[in-house]
Structure 1
Amino acid sequence: MRSHRIWVTAATVVAGLTGVLLFQGVTGQPSADAGPDAKSGPVKADSRTSALKMDTDGRGASLARRDTEPFSMLGVTWTDPAARVTGTVEARTRAAGSGKWSNWLKLDGDSGLGESSAGRGGTEPAWVGPSDGVEVRVKAGGTTSSRLPAGLRLDMIDPGNGGAGSGSVSTAMEPAAVAAFAAFAAETLAPQTESASPAPDDTTSAPASPTPTATATATAEPTDVPSDPPSTSTSPPESTTPSETSSPSASASPTPTATVPTPPPSTAPRPPITSRAGWSADESISPETPEYLPGGKIKAVVVHHTAESNTYTCAEAPAVVRGVYTYHVKQLGWKDIGYNFLVDKCGTVYEGRKGGVDLPVLGAHAYGFNTETTGISVLGTYTDAAPTTAAMTSVARIAAWKLGQYGVSPTGTATLTAGAAGQNLAGQTWAQGAQRTLPAIHGHRDGYNTLCPGTAFYNQLGTIRSWASGPVTGLTVKSVTGGGVSGTTHYTKAGITVGWSASTPSALISKYELLVDGTVAATAAGSATSAKATLAAGTHKVAVRAVHQSGKTATSAAATVVAETTAPAFTTKPSLALRTGTVNTTAVPLTLSWKASDSAALKEVRLTAPVAKTYGPTVTSAAHTAKSGVATAWSMTAYDQAGNTAAASVSGTPVILQETSAVRSGTWTSRSSTSYLGGKSYSSTAKNASLTWTFTGRSAAWAVSRASTSGQAYVYVDGVKAATVDLRSSTTKYRDAIWTKTWSTSAKHTVRIVVVGTSGRPTVTTDGLVYLK
């Protein structure tokens, strides 16, 4: 099949520049996800320099504390782009407005060799926020013979206002920017005349722009050679994409190409990206034509940090990006910003080097390996603290999208060919043309002697690979609501809501599926944390399946859920019985008893009246009190784990029979005290003296007064001796229900109390009889 390419003419682009520039890349795509910030026009940054004073021994340099025009970013640069500072570079600044001086900020001593056109070497730039004063000190490391490079100076950048969060910049492009971009468009977007005869592979391609040649010759040690020096050959690159395992020549690096490739589709979705217009890039400072990877294929992603302060706000992030852009271009002499993508701590992604975010743009970020990689840099320094989850999520999303365009697994490896001799932080060295096998997502330190992307960030690269590749990790069912749970089994009548969590960020998850017995019962978005389903009666296995954006799936451990609608039952109806304890007219002690069960799992039994109490599934009785002379209903509800219920109740009236209502025999003496029921009681020491009460009820209790001299009594029920009760007590007690008797049904009964006449302590004092009707 013939492939076709649509070309945008320079005139079209220039005409479009009279309005808001939303040019996303040379494919002519406007940035649909640039957001409101894309309405800002380009912002010119202001840069200034101050030379550092070198010590006489060449091992130190400084810039005395001084006032400056406002700036927000700084770096220290030197004349030879191939040189390095192996010692310490420190600066501190005075905050504009407050006048407070910062602590000394240590700058990363090497920004990395970006490209052969570099005019100077330098540290990584550092964002210091609005400042109007500065002080710098530099100290060489190594042996006493080590000297600092010549031409040390402080570079200060004011990135200007504009971009996200400001809205203060005119939407009209400056004439210089229009002219620069027109030149870029004329060279890059030249019309393509399709050949009448297809090429052997039945595809057409744009004519290649002249191959750039080296503009400088490296003179330093092999580790200081500019990265990926271009070949001096004028031959166009091969038309086919070389495999990762091929063995290119060790004597020459692949030649970058200005030919605009066709953007391949990706296996992963494209994340939102703020365009260069969105962060108000001043295109006039980098009018060069974009170059593309010579093989047309990204084999790996190199992860960086910008080694700046982490104190910037997310509203300031576009200005930080402009500062990095200005530093790379104006201060170091690079063609454009070095990184392909930048990410702030809130997870916003910014288009870096121009040429099209969906294309394999040649960056200047990874010494010796630019021609086969794309670079992602997170704004900030991450030596001790890892980036935010939002930032790491965006890195994973970009990496998955870019590698997905070329069939590279984020958890795989890539065989890269070194464009120059080099050394990494681990001390490994290699020659130009050597092949190195590195993770498809790796840190800058793996291919260059730098701390980048910071140890804490580097230690998180395994997590980023996992997030980018899939499947979803840490997927766990957290809850099943709609009923109860007993042990590990959940119960419901029918409807359930299943909640879950995962360690993979939701932005990398396409969807969730709720599985019931292996079948999809509900589908939810990747940002969801719960879903609902209705179950048929029976026992089910419920799980959650997460679909990663790569298509890979992960399934949680299954939960057992029983759906049932059978109500529980009171196998023993609630009943009341008097119990021992202190009797009051407002609080007669009694026991409420019941027994409930369920065909699946009983959850609890609730007493709803006359008071509210909840009892566990194995509890069958509880102590309560009731007011004498008042009929009271005791209402209960049994609940099973599914939420089915059953109700039952019982009523009872406690009645106090005073001692005066008894039939007496023998000698009894009346006693008065507020401690007695009704204020009075009967006492006897006469053997066989008795009191008899007759009543109709289902439970009875004899109330007495007790002391250390109290004696014994016989209790007869319906003419039959039922018990011998000893009233003796080490402590004095009144209104004590000392003996009780309960029957299964209410009936007429007689209770008779007979004094035993116990030797030495014959006294029996009775306070009445209580019965329950």
Structure 2
Amino acid sequence: MKRRAWLTLSAVLVGGGGIITYAVASPSDGPSDAGRAKRPVKVYDLTLKSPASGKRELPRTETEQFSMLGVSWTDAEKRLQGTAQVRTRSIGTGEWSGWQDLEANVDPLEDPEAREEARGATEPIWVGPSDGVQVQVVHKDGSTSALPKGLEVSLVDPGVVTKAETQAEPVAYEPAAFAAETSPAATGSPSDSASPSASPSESVPPSESVSPSASASTSTSASATASPSPTVPTAPPSTVPKPSIVSRAGWGANESMSPDPSNYNAGVKTVFVHHTVDSNSYSCADSAALVRGIYAYHVNTNHWNDIGYNFFVDKCGTIFEGRKGGVDLPVTGAHTYGWNSQSAGIAVLGTYTDAGVSTAAQTAVARLAAWKLGQYGIDPSGSTQMTAPVILIDPEKPDTPDNRVVLTNYFGAKYFAGQQYTFKAVSGHRDGYNTQCPGNSLYAQLPAIRTMASGPVQGLKVTSVSGATASGTTYYTKGAITAKWSTTTPGSLIKRFELLVDGKVAATASGTATSAAATLALGNHTVAVRAVHQSGKAVTTTAQNFVAETTAPTFSTTPNLALATGTVSTTSVPVSLRWKAADNAALQSVKQLVPTATTFGPTTTSVARTAKPGTATTWSMAAYDVAGNSRTASAAYTPVILQETSAVRSGSWTSRSSTSYLGGKSYSSGSKGASLTWTFTGRSASWVVSRASTSGQAYVYVDGVKVSTVDLKSSTVKYRQAIWTKTWSGSAKHTVKIVVVGTSGRPTITTDGLVYIK
């Protein structure tokens, strides 16, 4: 196999003052891939040169199209003591970005052979379609101390790949400059990124036993489950459903880049969650391109044998297969130093130090973690025990306590080789290694992700019930009800909902449903909603009392019209509308339907209204119970005005004229004992008078019996006043007689007639 020795076209332009700046080489002047409908993934490895002394300018260099980049160096065991920074030019706008830092705190390598072949590297960063780049390294302490040898910037063009292309012949990865073909012994150039075969990034430590895959065929989709064999484990079933996963073929993996066989763990005890430290502004339509870019970067820049993570999740919740070997198998990844042989790694595309991941991404991580851990009977909300591996500081020396790596995590916890330690089943990268990954915000979301993955369903509550109405703590219905609910757990993590009537399942709905219907038999019942998480854990709402009944309310008093006190005119008479309704269960309301529409509470039994005299009017009411049953009652009434001239007179009366009187006329008398008598057939009557401060008093007789003494005195003058009323239970013939009392000092009364209802 040949290696490529990269020839650089440009030199360093700037340096000094605590900042060492590197200018990258321009790519070749060959035909550009920009604008092609389909194009393969390309990685341009550009060698960086030390700056000339005294120069301080920061050169900007045009390149071929790329969308992702990172900085690497020769020795994977060397750390970059500084911050690598880049800025890029957008193809779309032609504008240069601001400086962006590259995360250089990448996990070291465990396997001695991998350390010899692999390169140290920053995490790659997604910058979107670009055609220009500038790079510099800023020392943390402001010094100009030596930097790792063989510094390069890798520009990754993820290309546009079709399924046919993923199954085609291996794609040649050309550099931005040109390459000279040499034998492996001809040069020690650190730029081996175009080699189609790279050593494993992370083998299993000696203390951990794994077996390589028996086949590394590139013609078979890596997402398919490998057939059981002595070296390939059988995929165990999971306790929860498998989420949809985009296969390697689906995102355009070129399998010829990673021909090495897959390694497998004995199982998965922990899922480590990562972020990829890319931009969060990517479009989800570019997610596959991001994964292709990371794949190319891990293989061609880091010199790993495959992509490091087992799975990727984008911000829209799409899950992508990562390292090959079968998504349902315990493939050994390269993501969490020291713990890869006992875990699986899920990387969320983006950076989540300051901003948390979307609900869709949280849900996808939860579903994926639950499924993968469910293959091994592990509760995602629980804890597991893992054994710290034996990693030798110097592989050439014997295995002694002093020659063993002591792992340290972000919180300062130390893990000594061979000892067991407790981890959350869903942990962050920082729990196993000293890194900020997966970012403070995503790390803070892990408890919620564990709960989503493990169950039970959170936040279950009944939001409403249609077909039933609550009265106090009880719902009333005719029988058919629909219960609606909500949860804070996403529906994709819920197996089903059950509508329980009297503790038994009356209806079943899918995990994404928000309602279910049932018909209750007549009588008393309890109703609740049960949510079953995909893990099988169930939670049930508090049971509510229901009464199913179909008996309509009754009117013990049908709409009844009675005359009322107030001002009378030839077009309007004050009346009182009265009724009385009841229900065997719970009366909800009574509605006046005509002549006006009004709704009243269950305890209201009367309302003041006006009626037009001389016209028959129908008064219709409807009573409703809480269950929705109803009954209607109606009655028609006609108010009639009897002028004073229609009364039988005795004694002395004087006729008066004024537009203020009913009909323009009235009778007045101050003669003691003078009387007026009206005879009518009706059910209610009212006497109409004029009132003033000098008005006197009168006796009222009904059917020959004195029933009242009425004083007409008023501090203000009032005309056409219904001052006295009388109502009977039914319509009958009656007489109403008024007699002048002859009150001392104010004997006079003025009468304007009588109104009755027939």
Give the structure-1-normalised TM-score.
0.78
1:310 corresponds to which of 272, 280, 302: 280
Long gaps (5+) in structure 2? 1-36, 173-189, 191-199, 214-228, 392-405
Counterpart residue identity of residue 156, structure 1: L
Partners of 1:565 and 1:308 in 2: CA distance: 64
Change (3 A) 1:521 1:133: same
**Partner SS, residue 307 of structure 2:** coil
1:670 corresponds to which of 637, 644, 656: 656
Change (3 A) 1:318 1:585: farther
Matching of residues 14-93 of structure 1 within 5 Å? 43-49=40-46, 51=48, 64-85=59-80, 88-93=83-88
Matching of residues 31-430 of structure 1 within 5 Å? 43-49=40-46, 51=48, 64-85=59-80, 88-102=83-97, 104-113=99-108, 116=111, 117=114, 119-136=118-135, 138-141=137-140, 149=148, 152-162=151-161, 173-176=167-170, 230-231=204-205, 259-293=231-265, 296-419=266-389, 420=391, 421-430=406-415
Change (3 A) 1:124 1:761: farther
2:463 is matched with 478
Structure 1 range deviating more: 508-517 or 721-730: 721-730
1:694 corresponds to which of 679, 692, 696: 679
Change (3 A) 1:576 1:547: same
Q: 1:46 touches 1:157 (CA, 8 Å); kept in 2?
A: yes
2:187 is matched with none
Q: 1:62 touches 1:136 (CA, 8 Å); kept in 2?
A: no
Structure 1 range deviating more: 638-647 or 437-446: 638-647
Counterpart residue identity of residue 42, structure 2: A
Change (3 A) 1:346 1:708: farther
The count of aligned residue pairs is 662
2:220 is matched with none
Partners of 1:620 and 1:235 in 2: CA distance: 86
- 1:531 lines up with 2:526 in the alignment: no
CA RMSD in angstroms comes to: 3.4
2:621 is matched with 636
1:23 is matched with none
Change (3 A) 1:593 1:41: same
1:669-702 deviations in whole A, cap 9, x for unaligned? Answer: 32222x4433444445555544332211111122
**Partner SS, residue 600 of structure 1:** coil
Q: 1:685 touches 1:764 (CA, 8 Å); kept in 2?
A: yes
Partners of 1:638 and 1:392 in 2: CA distance: 52
Partners of 1:399 and 1:390 in 2: CA distance: 14
Structure 1 residue 359: deviation in Å?
0.8
Partners of 1:61 and 1:695 in 2: CA distance: 117
Structure 1 residue 343: deviation in Å?
0.9
Partners of 2:310 and 2:437 in 1: CA distance: 16
Counterpart residue identity of residue 173, structure 1: Q
Change (3 A) 1:54 1:414: farther
Q: 2:499 touches 2:516 (CA, 8 Å); kept in 1?
A: yes
Partners of 1:413 and 1:152 in 2: CA distance: 41
**Partner SS, residue 592 of structure 1:** strand
Counterpart residue identity of residue 321, structure 2: E
Counterpart residue identity of residue 176, structure 1: P
Q: 2:76 touches 2:109 (CA, 8 Å); kept in 1?
A: no
Counterpart residue identity of residue 129, structure 1: G
**Partner SS, residue 277 of structure 1:** helix
Partners of 1:61 and 1:681 in 2: CA distance: 114
Q: 2:262 touches 2:331 (CA, 8 Å); kept in 1?
A: yes
Change (3 A) 1:299 1:768: same
Partners of 1:562 and 1:55 in 2: CA distance: 89
Structure 1 residue 386: deviation in Å?
2.3
2:730 is matched with 745
Q: 1:43 touches 1:282 (CA, 8 Å); kept in 2?
A: no
Partners of 1:510 and 1:274 in 2: CA distance: 22
Partners of 2:459 and 2:588 in 1: CA distance: 31
Structure 1 residue 351: deviation in Å?
0.5
2:431 corresponds to which of 437, 446, 452: 446
**Partner SS, residue 766 of structure 1:** strand
Counterpart residue identity of residue 169, structure 2: P
Q: 1:661 touches 1:693 (CA, 8 Å); kept in 2?
A: yes
Structure 1 residue 434: deviation in Å?
3.7
Q: 2:89 touches 2:130 (CA, 8 Å); kept in 1?
A: yes
Give the structure-2-normalised TM-score.
0.80
Partners of 2:208 and 2:358 in 1: CA distance: 45
Structure 1 range deviating more: 559-568 or 435-444: 559-568
1:555 is matched with 540
Structure 1 residue 342: deviation in Å?
0.6
Partners of 1:453 and 1:79 in 2: CA distance: 26
Change (3 A) 1:297 1:235: closer
Q: 1:114 touches 1:338 (CA, 8 Å); kept in 2?
A: no
Structure 1 residue 653: deviation in Å?
0.9
Q: 1:258 touches 1:290 (CA, 8 Å); kept in 2?
A: no
2:689 corresponds to which of 684, 691, 704: 704
Q: 2:70 touches 2:153 (CA, 8 Å); kept in 1?
A: yes
Structure 1 residue 504: deviation in Å?
2.0
Change (3 A) 1:401 1:582: same
Partners of 1:94 and 1:731 in 2: CA distance: 91
1:539-562 deviations in whole A, cap 9, x for unaligned? Answer: 111122222222222222111111
Structure 1 residue 143: deviation in Å?
8.8
1:509 corresponds to which of 482, 486, 494: 494
2:531 corresponds to which of 539, 546, 561: 546
1:30-54 deviations in whole A, cap 9, x for unaligned? Answer: xxxxxxxxxx999423435463867
> Percent identity over the alignment?
59
Structure 1 residue 402: deviation in Å?
1.1
